[in-house]
Amino acid sequence: MRTKILILGGLALALQACGGAIAQNGQLKPEHQSGKKDTKGNQVSKEAAANFDTALQGFLDHDKKQDWQEATCSSVAKNFEDAADAQKSATGRPFSEALYDAGLAYQRCGKDDQARAKFEAAGSADPSFHRAKAQIVLYDYQKSQDIDGTISKLEQIIRDAKFQNAEALVSLAALRSSATVTSRIKTARTTSSVRRRTCSARSPSTTRTCPPSTSSRCITWSRRRRRPARVRRPVAVVSAAWRSRAPSART
């Protein structure tokens, strides 16, 4: 049973009392303010907040029921995208949390190309958005199978996030475990290869290449093929807007 890590995507929109007039430099007029701010302290428009709430509720409902289908993934992602578009239209600023969450919705149905595109958009909108960076690094690993390089990148992301990125921490632990196993296999294969050469040199030129006591081990390791380490991506949940606490982890 894989553990599904339910993580806040970095959005902690705090309730704020609507104040008086706000400067025109990219700021919302009081009548358009939702009374909520993103992690950068920017006001979120009423339309963007409403779309985000609708998307978030749909995401959590489908996650709870585990009834994701292609149509529901696209629908939830579209609501997050609408929230991002509304915020961009109202303030001229991107809504990186909504873009990231749209990527997670696509990811639930295995639409990895669309998911990655949203993660990249979120990262471009906010270079400090470490959860989007971690998702991209994990996608890169699926293609490169570069364990050492991926571990190094995740370690940097975790340091930048002040060890608050649970998805990256879980993935890092899995990669380190796989790297250890791979290293042991390589060592065992090397040792077995030396033994096999020694056995061949000592055995008569008949049907056996090793004495009976070591033959099975020699053949086993000589035939074993090295496979790239496979690491399960932790399943993160969306940014829980307007909430003070994150949902707890579930299995």
Q: Is 135 strand, coil or helix? A: helix
Q: What is the predicted pLDDT for the residue at 31?
A: 78
Write out the two tokens for 141.
């690993």
Q: What is the predicted pLDDT for the residue at 37?
A: 79
Paired strand residues for 15: 36
Q: What is the predicted pLDDT for the residue at 133?
A: 95
Angle between helices 46-65 and 70-91 (to 10 degrees): 160
- Residue of higher predicted confidence among 249 and 66: 66
Distance CA 47, CA 69 (A): 27
Q: Is 162 strand, coil or helix? A: coil
Task: Provide the whole-model pTM.
Answer: 0.69
Check if the beta carbon of residue 85 is closer than 8 Å to that of residue 115. no
pLDDT band at residue 209 under the 50/70/90 scheme: very low
84, pLDDT greater than 70:
yes
**Which residue type sits at 32?**
H
Q: Is 41 strand, coil or helix? A: coil
Instruction: Report the 10 Å Cβ neighbour count for 89.
Output: 11
In the chain, what are the domain boundaries?
32-126, 128-230
Check if the beta carbon of residue 160 is closer than 8 Å to that of residue 153. no
Distance CA 147, CA 211 (A): 37
Q: What is the predicted pLDDT for the residue at 238?
A: 59
pLDDT band at residue 86 under the 50/70/90 scheme: very high
Q: What is the predicted pLDDT for the residue at 233?
A: 65
DSSP 8-class letter at 110: T
Q: What is the predicted pLDDT for the residue at 188?
A: 64
93, pLDDT greater than 70:
yes
Backbone dihedral region of 66: left (phi > 0), alpha (psi from -120 to 50 degrees) or beta? left
- Residue of higher predicted confidence among 226 and 74: 74
Alpha helices in 92-211 (DSSP H): 96-108, 112-125, 130-144, 147-160, 166-202
Q: What is the predicted pLDDT for the residue at 80?
A: 96
45, pLDDT greater than 70:
yes
